[in-house]
Amino acid sequence: MYAESRDRIAKERSMRQRLLKWLWARLAALREMDLTRDALLMKLGHAQSKAPAAWRLIDLSVQANAASFTYRLNRAKLRQVRRREGRYLLRTNLTETDPVKLWEYYLQLVRVEEAFRTLKSDLAIRPIYHQHPSRIEAHVFLSFLAYCLYVTLGRTLHALAPGLTARSALEKFAAMQMVDVHLPTTDGRELILSRYTEPQRELALLLERLELTLPAQPKPRITAAEAATAL
């Protein structure tokens, strides 16, 4: 069965453009670096591993005895990829003849595979180091709860910030950190200031789209452990 989805075309095209843009900028930066040939090959290999789909659209040639390379966009491959984006040829043993239902079954399969991939990578359900069955069950249960929150975040993003996945949103939120600043006082005590980092412009825009408001910075605390001695 041949299937074509406008939403999938837009999604896959956006992903391909983002990866290709990153790879093109990375290659331009590598050309300006003063590297040995071995170091250059390692960095090129790392770039290829991060964007393998975009790498296939570029013709790259490394000099045999020098730390330099040339690259260009393979427009023929790009045109071929553009024609295939969002279009699938599905083969199945189901007797259902309605193509809409077959496409829905295929999307369900994709979501199931994505769920297992999320549990194994983003939520790190494995490896499990526990010995007792009760602790293993607790570990799996907490991972399941985390996945429920992950799915809820994805649904929220779909409604308020289309085009942004839960994984990319969590990567943006990872830039925020909570730090404790300890300041000693003259009477032997310690003033503790707990502060979270101010969100950058991109993260602030995401918070606005999600209709989230950060709480006020926590109030300062002062230790009393040495207060009696000081008095």
For 145-169, what is the mean pLDDT? 85
Determine contact, residues 47/26, Cβ cutoff 8 Å: yes
User: pLDDT, tens digit, for every residue of 27-44?
Assistant: 999 999 988 989 999 999
Which pLDDT belongs to residue 129?
79
For residue 231, pLDDT beyond 50: no
For 58-86, what is the mean pLDDT? 91
Q: What is the mean pLDDT of the chain?
A: 85
**What are the distances in angstroms from CA 71 to CA 27, 28, 50, 56, 221?**
8, 9, 17, 12, 57
For residue 62, pLDDT beyond 60: yes
3-state helix, strand, coil in the chain (%, to 5): 55, 15, 30
Output Rg (C-alpha) for the chain, integer angstroms. Answer: 26
Which pLDDT belongs to residue 8?
80
Is this structure's pTM higher than 0.85? Answer: no
For 170-180, what is the mean pLDDT? 87
Which of 3, 50, 2, 63 has its CA nearest to residue 24?
50
pLDDT band at 146 (very low <50, low <70, confident <90, very high): confident
Higher-confidence residue: 50 or 122? 50
Which pLDDT belongs to residue 225?
56
Helix (H), strand (E) at residue 72? strand 69-73
What is the distance between the terminal CA atoms of the chain, rounded to a whole angstrom? 84
Q: Considering the chain, what percentage of its residues have pLDDT values greater than 90?
A: 21
* Three-state SS at 230: helix
Q: Where are the domains of the chain?
A: 2-84, 93-173, 178-230
pLDDT band at 167 (very low <50, low <70, confident <90, very high): confident
Which pLDDT belongs to residue 227?
47
Which pLDDT belongs to residue 7?
81
Q: Considering the chain, what percentage of its residues have pLDDT values greater than 70?
A: 96
CA distance 31 to 72: 13
CA distance 109 to 106: 5
Which of 18, 52, 48 has its CA nearest to residue 40?
48
User: pLDDT, tens digit, for every residue of 200-228?
Assistant: 888 888 888 888 888 888 888 888 755 44
Which pLDDT belongs to residue 128?
77
